[in-house]
Structures are given as C-alpha cells and as structure tokens.
A and B are shown apart, each in its own frame.
Chain A
Amino acid sequence: MIKNTLKTIALISVAVSSNAELVSMDESNLANISGQGGVYLSGEFSINKEGGPLWEDGTRPYYQLDGNGEPVVDNSISPDQCNNGVCGLRLAIKLNENSEGWYVIDDLSGGMSFEGLTLRTVNIKSAVDYDVWDDNTNDFQIVALDEEVLQIGLPGKVTFNDFKFKYAVANNGEFGVPLADGTAFKQTEIFGVELNGAITLQGNLLLFPVD
C-alpha cells in the first residue's frame, strides 16, 4: 500500500517544476493557465481496463476450507463470471473488529482520460477561509498568506471510458472465501455505478498544509 502511495506521489510529482507568482485568477484567465511555466499533462488513468492479475481469466472462484482450515478452490460451485470477461478491482473494508461485515467496492474498472492538466508549485498571497463568513463582503473571509502551494490546473474536459463499480456488503474481505467456521461466503450488491462520457472540470485545485 505504501509503495502504491509513493508511486502515486511520483507520478503526480512529475510535474512540479518551477515557481510562479500567482495572483488571484478570474474565470477568463483560468484558460491561460497552460501559457505559464510548469508542466502540461495529457493522458489517462485506468483501473483494471483489461482485467487484473488475480482473476485474469475473467472468473472469480469460490473456495472451501480444507482439513487445515486453508481455502482451496471449490469446483462444485460455478465461478463468478465478470462482465465482458474483465474483473475489476475489489476493495473491502472492515470497520469494526467484532463485526462480521465488510463494506466492499467491487468490480471497479474503467478509464479516465484528460488533456491539459497542469501542475506547478506556486506562491500564493491570499486564500479563502471557508470557516469564517465576512458579513461586510457577504462572502467567506479572504486571509493573507505567503505560502507554497501545489496548483493543479484542471483540464477542462475529463472523459470517462466504461468507468464502473459496485457497492456491496459481504461477510468476508476476500471474494469467495468462507469464514473460519465454515459459513459460506455471501455478498449483497447494493448498487452499481457506470460512467461514460465527458465531464467538465474548470479552475484550479490548490494543495497546501494547514494547521
């Protein structure tokens, strides 16, 4: 997981390059973001676009426990067939140690492509404090700052390609594995999401530490 995190940092940080003085930006010059120093990114992120390494053949087996309590594939049950033969990522979280339930994001897959994401480190002189409302200006308070921030210039249009996942609950984190007492694996799918097409993202995202 940590390697995963470091990797993400490494990829994101490809872009951090030079410093620019940024004053407040209005809508019209947001479009000019790519005309300044920094890095312009185009490409795509994808998750299990062509399947994953655990269920490469597009099926997910069910297991039974052997004499030592170790899971072995139960060939008497037909394996779960993934959509289009492509099995997505499965993320299972158990919140309470004493609970038997797992929250599951299952069969997560798809791609997200974009063109024109910009990244740079800039110094900002002011920021909006969303904790304080200013009655005089009838807006959130603007506070003075003098800080380095990671500025992510959003790409305008992001295209989702067959991006989908299912939200489910299950009695085990590992798919298809019975509990130690032999209770069969159960999973209930609550809803599914499928996303195709483009969404518009405009503006900047500023990342910086706060106390």
Chain B
Amino acid sequence: MKKLLFPVSAIALAVHVHSVGALEALDDSAMSNVSGQAGITIDLNPGDVSIDALDYTQDGVTARMSDIFINGSEGTSSKITLDVNADGDLLFRDELGARDFSVGGVGMVGSTGNSGDFFSLRGATSAYDPVTDYGLVDLKIGDDGNGNLKLDGSQVGLFFDGLHFGDDGLEWIIDDLAMAAVINYGRLVVGDGSLDFDFGDENNRGLSLVYDAKAIGLSSDPNLAVGDYGDINSAGYLLGDTFGSLRVDLDAYGTLSIAAGGKTGQGITFIPALTLINDSVDRPAFKYTEDGYVILAKNFKGEFSTTSGFMLDFEEDESNNPYLALRYSDFQFAFSLDDLVLGEENGSSLGSFKGQVLFEDDVIAGHTNYLHFYPGGAIGNGVTQQGVTAKIGWNIVSADPLADPDGGDFTTPGSFAGKTAAESNTYFAMNDDGNWVYFNGFNGWGEGTVSLDLTSAPSSTPVDLYENPYVYNPLTGQGSFDDNRGYDRDNKVGTYDGLRIDFVDLKGEYSFSGVTVGTSEEEAMESPYMGGTELLLALEVFPSYSFTLNGNLTIAPGGRIDSDGIGGTQGLTLNGDLRVTEGNAAITVDEYGRGVWLTGVTYDLHMRGASLDVTEDGLTFNKGLTWSTIKVGNYNSSTGEIEGGIIFGAKDDGKNLGAFTLERLEDNTTISVASGGAGEVCIGGFLWASGGGCAVGDTNGNGIYDSGDSDGSVNGSDPTTRYENRGEQGLTIKVKAKFAEAIKPGEAGYATRDTRYDGKGNRFSWTQPNGTTLTLDNFSTSDGPEGGNDYGLNIDLNLDVARTAVKKDITPDDGLNNPVLVDSNDNAITLGDISTQGPLGFAVLGRVHFKQLNIDGLKLSATPDSTPQTLISAITIQNADIQANLTATPIR
C-alpha cells in the first residue's frame, strides 16, 4: 500500500471543547449487552456537547464553526457496533439516536463583516429507522486483494426533522430532509499524494444517492422550534407558503481523486470523473412538486469531468479579508434525459433533451472560472451581517465554426484538436419525433459580485415601492432616468421577504453560433448553421448579448398559481429591481456576429409579485406587476448625434438605424413552456376539419374541408396544395402579454384608478439618425368594448423539427430554370419521398392573437427635444388571430 503524504500539518484542526456532557456510565445490565455479542456494542448517549470553535486552517487562513451545541439529553442513545468479520473486514455500524444541534456561525476568522459568518445552523435528526435505514452510519472496510481498501456495502443515511440555515435572525428551512448514500462498489486507492476513489462503471454502479426534501420554506422567527411544523396541507402549517418538495434519486459511477494542495500553497484539489445516472422507468431522477404539479425527469444521465480539478483554497484579498476560493481551469458537464414532464405527473413528455457545457479558462483574455466566497452578505440587521458574498467568473467555450471545405458560404460546428464536433461545442438540444435540433456553439464569459441574504420586507408598504425611475415628459414624448427615484437603487436599499440575490457590476457576454438539425447527433454536428436562436426572444433571451447587471432579485416561497389557477401556496415568488447597462443585444445574428444589433442598451426592470409555477400548462412565469424601460442608444442633443442604437451589420461598424426607447407596463403577463409540436400544415389550401390531409377548398360544397374535397397533393406532379405533419412532439412557448393602461388626470376612471400604474406606460419611440422621432404612445390590451384585460396579447410558438420540400435547379448549366424537389445532398426526389428523404427543417408555428389592442397615437417630431405633431390620433385593432406556419430548411 502506498504511503499517503498528506500535509496534515497544514490542516490545523483546533477544537476548543467548552464542556462535554458526562458520558453515561453503563450499568451492569447494559454491560452484558456489550460483552454478550460478537465484537463490541456500545449504547452511547453523551448528553449535551458544547464546542466553542472548530477551526480548519490553510496557509494561515482559518475557517471556523463556532458555538456548536448538540443536545443529547432530549434525544435517544446511539447504538454503535464494532466488529471484524471472517474476511477480515472492519464493520462499524452506528444506529444514530435523535439529536438537536445548533451551530452559532459557519464562517472565516478575520472577516471585516459584522459576524464573519456565512450562516448559522439549527437542526434535529431522527433516530435510526430500520425500515428506511435513515439515521445510520454503516461502514464495511476491507482489503480488495490488491492492496486497496474495499468499501462495498457501506452506507450513510440521515433524516432531519428540520434543518435551519440562519441569516441575521431569518431562516431558510428544510422540512423532513432525507439524505442517503449507499456504496455498492467502492475502492479507495492511496495514490501519490492523492486519495483515489473508484466507484465502478456503468455496469457496476458504485453509488446510490437520494436527496428528498418534503418542503422548503422561510421563517422570520429565529425561535421557531426545529422539526415539527404541523401538517403541510393545513392552514396552520408553521412554515406557511413553501417552495414545494424536491426528490433527487441517482446512481453514480466513475472516479474521484482528492489531492493535497490547491491552486497556490496548501489546499485540496478534487478531480471528479463521475457519471450520475438514473435509467429506471419507475423512479424519476428528479421530481419537483408544487401545488400538485411536477417537474419530472426520467432516464437521466449526467457526466462530469475535469482534467485540472476543482481547487479549494483559503486566501485573503488585498484588504486582508479571508475568503474560500474554488477554481477550475477546465470542467465539462454533459447531460441527457429522455422524458421531461412539466405539469401533471402522468402528462405528456416534452421529449428528450441533451446538453453540454464546456468551461475552460482563457488566460490571455483574462476570463477564468472561479468562485470566491466571502462570509457576510450585502444586507445585515445592524447587529450581524451573515450571508454570502461571492466574486465569480466563468468562461464557457465552443470551437469556432468550420467553413465549408468546398468553398460554400455556410459553416458547420467546428471542433477542437483531437476532439469531435460533439465534444467541442457547448449546446442545448431537444429531440422531436426522432429528429434533433441543437442550439449550438455557445460561447460566454462573465465576472462580478453576487451576494446572497435572507431579507424581510418592511412591515408597512413603502411609499416608493412602485416608483418608476424613468420619468416621462409628456411635452416631448421622451423621458430620462432619475437615479434618486425608485425603491431599490444605488443610494437606497429596499428589501422584500425572501432570499435576496444582489448583483454588483456583473459583466458578461454570450453568443450562439446558430441552430443545427439532424436525425442523429453526428448529422446535427455536420449540418450547416442556420438561424433559429431568435426564437429565444419569446423567452426574452437574446441570441447574443453583452451586459453589465446591477440590482437585486428576491425569491420567496409560494407561487401565484395552483390547481385552481390562482393563489397557490407553493412555488416561487419573485420581486426585483434590475438594471442592465452597457448592453449590446442581438435581435438576429449569424455565426460571424453580423445581424441586427441593439447597442448602448440600458434595460431597467422592476417586478412586484412575479412568480414561477408549475401548472397544467407547463412551467409558467407570471411577471406580476412589471414595468420596464429599454433604451437603445441615445440622441445627444448638443451634438445631434446618435450614440449607440440599432445597428444593421456588424456590432461595431454597422449601419445605424437610430435609437429607440420602449417602455412597458404589464400586469400579470405570463410566459409558459410546455410540450406540443407544430402539428399539421396545409400549404396552399385548408386542413381537413378532422386533420390528416388538406384540400384546395371546399370543392364539394358540403361546408367542411374533408377527404371528399379534391386534394391537389394526392396526385399530379405540380400539386396545388401540400400537406405536412410535423408531429405532436416539440416545444410550445406561450406568451400572454397584458399591457396595462395608466389612467391620467382628467381621464375617465382616474379617481378609482390602480395607483400602482402611476408614472408608467407602454410607449415606443424611434429616433432616426437625423433626429426625426416617431412615437407610438400608450398602447394597451383589453378584452373588447366592455373592458377587462384577461385575454392579453398572446404569442404562441410551437417548435419542431421536420422534413420538408425544397426545390432546386440542379442542372443550372442547361440554361433552363427547372427547379425540382431535392434531398439534402441535392439529389432529385419525388413528392412521396419528402417524408423520408426531404431535407430536415426547423418548423415553427407562430400565432399572435388578441381581442383588442389600443394605441393612443402616433406622433412625429423633428428631434426628441421638440414638440411632437400628431400623425395618427388613435389606432384600434380588434379580433386578431395571425398565424405563420413555416418550415425553415438550411440550404447550401
């Protein structure tokens, strides 16, 4: 056996035991329980244990757990059995007793924060349960015959009646948390300066892991008794609204090495090459439940690997503030899952998904992967300032696109030296009726500061909770930001109930190369890049974006939607005030960065009572009351020049189309993602009423389009109509935008208006490079003449991959224009071959529908500063249902 040279001296474990409860002496009868069996059995009830501090030091920087207290007097005893079996295996089994425990602070010594702590901890564990094997530490340690330690059959299971993470008196609480790890196959090899764990392979999976939390909630009562919160389904449940429940059930195999030494000096390096897998048809790998609906993933596989490893160091910054550093110069994560269900547990699957993220340091550009955790968040309570502040950086890579070797004007996904294209690209892919669509070639980096705190809202509604920092001037039709207005801004902190995430100068950039499609991963990786990432705009995700983010987002338990469609008690509630500055966003862009860009973007966004819920419609994001201003470019009055703006071409030197400002006021706009494909389309005619075909019209005059009507696609070489069925699998994105109208003084209903809308509106203004400004003022949706605003403006997108017809003149030299149907290799095919040999396309069924859209006017002014003239006084659009049913196929 190799000798482990772990620099133990570097790891100074300083345990200051304050008082130890007296060990209970075993009486004679108990002693007989020990000596009468094989090995040694000990009933242990140590009473109360109190430890002042537990320190771990690296390179002179110390992490500390302080004020540790274990209450044994109210618990039950642990039963420890120690034995050596006939094979020479050491058997250690501890059937744990119930315990209450607390840790006053987990932090780092020497922090300038008020407490130097990340968080405090309280918890209660249950005693050993022989049915579930929770409350058990069962180790079986032997020799595998090759000089390595064998750990087969060992397991650890814990059940927490409650686990409380505290931050300045507020607590994040997990109710009934079960965690278990079983080692089916495990070897510990002592390497040269490292401990190497071998957990088998796909056919001999070494680990089984379970994480199961019944409910996750928050509490502002630091004295809330741990463990018993009542019935989660009753109104008296002590945690109130919760985030819902979560269960993770995975096997794992592969290797894990733990080496001495970090990035610099002392430390620890973890090198995982692990695969997490669950291919059971019965047990979901992940299951998140809230208000009876689920996000559920089956047949999951996730592979993690890194060459350089995760390096853990304790360090101090230039101000001598200690922090915990985690660095990784490379890390690859790939996943696949066959069934993703959103909504009802037995509902239809969204299909199969896979993805891959490649992290790799770019030292030359200064973009590296790191997490530096400082104790203490951004918000304290005046006495303590617990929480976490993290300085983070990331760099995600993909290989450069590969130009067509035959000189064509298209590119395909590229590859790194010695790797395939599939191994060289960061992507997200979905399978649809056997075809794959890849959002491919993602590159991105970022760095900045993020802090986490538990916060609470003021007891009464603050007067500035709904203030809009963008102040509109009705005389000019323009506005400007007033940084002294708003609830949460640079010089004022406004808090909400929940877990607050603060962003400070978080700079980032990302881009996609495009979309590729294929019936297999290989085909998709060889297929030409095409557009399609623009569809992400429906989710308010730009295909390419660079940004600086400041502000906060606070996540609280309890969503807005339950099985009745309203007022759920589980889910996520979101409040926030965010501002993006120095933004450059692509509306559409190719793999060379050319397209339509929005540059010099400021995006100011405020959300009140937004929510993220799982509903029968899938995953639904309700924007609550949201108001925002997007300012793209700026007209400089003194120079008459546009700075930034809408750029056509390359971001830096393209042609400027001018600046624009978009203000929005939305009340309960929803965005949902669900299953469902692009379905059937009839090109040149009408779908039959029952589906399955189409016709040029109601040719037999019976009032419906059915198989009795002549269908030009059935016969003939030049069909009048063509029917395509793109299948029912696929992805559906639904946006239901409800633009609200702020009633102004003098208008009807002003006295009874919703005052939260004051100072906000829906407006669009476009300033051309010559200063001419067009303003679309005050647009809003309604349910028709009788009012109401439930229906909204709906955008439905169904995304699919399907084969379609492409015509091409494959004999251009004959001087004749004679396009014929072709496959993806330009071989002529027939109409009947399309469903099997037609080129793969990206099918989109897009639909915009609304009952009524009102626009108060269209105005024109010579410059943004001059008085506008009315071009159109009012526009009303009623009863709109506009559909675009397209198949987009890349062509070479």
Contact = CB atoms under 8 A, between A and B. Distances in A.
Q: Interface residue tally of chain A, by bracket?
A: 35 or more
B649 interface: yes
Contacts of A93: 872, 874-875
A55 interface: yes
A19 to B, nearest CB: 6
A48 interface: yes
A14 B531 contact: yes
Contacts of B762: 2
B654 interface: yes
Contacts of A21: 409
Contacts of B842: 14
B889 A39 contact: yes
B581 to A, nearest CB: 22
Contacts of A50: 881
B590 interface: yes
Interface of B: 404, 408-411, 514, 528-532, 534-535, 537-538, 587-592, 594-596, 648-650, 654-657, 662, 664, 681-686, 697, 720, 722, 735, 737, 748, 762, 764, 769-770, 776, 779, 783-787, 791, 793, 795, 804-810, 812, 815, 817, 819, 826, 839, 841-842, 844, 846, 848-853, 855, 857, 870-892
A97 B871 CA distance: 10
B876 A173 contact: yes
B785 A63 contact: yes
B590 A96 contact: no
Contacts of B810: 35
Contacts of A20: 409
Given A14-B534, A37-B892, A211 B769 contact: yes
A19 B514 CA distance: 13
A48 B848 contact: no
Given A13-B596, A32-B809, 11 more contacts: A10-B535, A14-B535, A16-B590, A37-B409, A40-B888, A45-B883, A54-B851, A71-B785, A90-B877, A148-B650, A174-B876
A17 interface: yes
Nearest to B720: A159
28 contacts: A2-B779, A3-B848, A13-B531, A13-B588, A13-B595, A14-B532, A17-B528, A34-B806, A34-B808, A38-B890, A39-B531, A43-B681, A43-B886, A44-B682, A46-B884, A47-B880, A47-B882, A48-B882, A52-B849, A53-B879, A89-B877, A99-B873, A113-B682, A118-B891, A119-B531, A147-B649, A173-B875, A211-B769
Nearest to B844: A14
A75 interface: no
Contact of A161 (B686, B737, B881, B889): B686
A3 B848 CA distance: 9
Given A7-B846, A96-B873, A161-B686, A31 B817 contact: yes
- The CB with the most chain B CB atoms within 10 A, among A42, A47, A173, is that of A42
Given A28-B815, A42-B886, A174-B852, A9 B804 contact: no
Contact of B648 (A48, A115, A148): A148
B852 A54 contact: yes
Contact of A53 (B514, B807, B873, B881): B881
Contact of B885 (A44, A52, A87): A44
Interface in A49-98: 49-55, 63, 69-73, 87-97
A209 interface: yes
A77 to B, nearest CB: 14
A16 B588 contact: yes
Contact of A17 (B530, B770, B884): B530
Contacts, number: 302
Nearest to B595: A16
Interface string A151-192: 000000001011000000000011111000000000000000
A6 interface: yes
A18 interface: yes
A116 interface: yes
A40 B889 contact: yes
Interface of A: 1-4, 6-7, 9-11, 13-21, 28-29, 31-32, 34-55, 63, 69-73, 87-97, 99, 102, 111, 113-116, 118-119, 121, 147-148, 159, 161-162, 173-177, 208-209, 211
Contacts of A31: 809, 812, 817, 819
A53 B791 contact: yes
Contacts of A1: 764, 776, 779, 853, 855, 875, 877
Contact of A45 (B537, B748, B851, B884): B884
B887 A10 contact: no
Contacts of A17: 410, 514, 528-531, 590-591, 890
B655 A89 contact: no
B888 A115 contact: no
B534 to A, nearest CB: 4
B649 A89 contact: no
A18 B883 CA distance: 26
B881 A19 contact: no
A87 B879 contact: yes
A154 to B, nearest CB: 13
A49 B681 CA distance: 13
B681 A97 contact: no
Nearest to B534: A13
A48 B592 CA distance: 38
B537 A2 contact: no
Contact of B882 (A43, A45, A175): A45
A95 B697 CA distance: 39
Contacts of A14: 531-532, 534-535, 842, 844, 886, 888
Nearest to A157: B684
A40 B786 contact: no
A69 B748 contact: yes
A179 B319 CA distance: 71
Contacts of A69: 748
B874 A54 contact: no
A209 B648 contact: yes
Contacts of A19: 409, 590, 592, 594
B613 to A, nearest CB: 22
A140 to B, nearest CB: 21
B848 A18 contact: no
A115 to B, nearest CB: 6
Given A40-B891, A209-B655, A97 B882 contact: no
Contacts of A51: 879, 881
A139 to B, nearest CB: 24
A10 B681 contact: no
Nearest to A47: B882
B411 A35 contact: no
Contact of A11 (B654, B846, B857): B846
Contacts of A44: 681-684, 883-886
A97 B884 contact: no
A6 B888 contact: no
Nearest to B538: A10
A97 B869 CA distance: 11
A36 B890 CA distance: 9
A15 B886 CA distance: 11
Given A16-B531, A113-B683, A36 B590 contact: no
A146 B748 CA distance: 55
Which of B649, B791, B873, B891: most chain A CB closer than 10 A? B891
B879 A88 contact: yes
A53 B851 CA distance: 6
B870 A97 contact: yes
A42 B804 contact: yes
